[in-house]
A = this chain, B = another copy of it.
């Protein structure tokens, strides 16, 4: 009876995409459900998967919103 919640930033990671694609979501759902079956024998029909896409400005790391964090990480000088 597993419940899995996957949170990712809302942005494109596939060619031409500006958000997670339906195909990527389906792959995550299948992959996680397979994993729980293989590792723990959990039947797939008892596994719920919920994907949340979070706006970049709503996700922080390193004390900064994600976009600003990445800008500084890329280290472009003034």
Q: Which residues of A contact B (CB under 8 A)?
A: 1-9, 13-14, 20, 22, 24-36, 38-42, 44-54, 57-66, 68
CB distance from A55 to the nearest CB of B (A): 9
Copies in the complex: 6
A60 near B33: Cβ-Cβ < 8 Å: yes
Per DSSP, are chain A's interface residues mostly helix, strand or loop, or mixed?
Answer: mixed
Residue of B nearest to A29 (CB): B60
CB distance from A37 to the nearest CB of B (A): 8
B61 near A30: Cβ-Cβ < 8 Å: no
B48 near A20: Cβ-Cβ < 8 Å: no
Give the docked Cα–Cα distance between A42 and B13 (Å): 9
Give the docked Cα–Cα distance between A50 and B50 (Å): 15
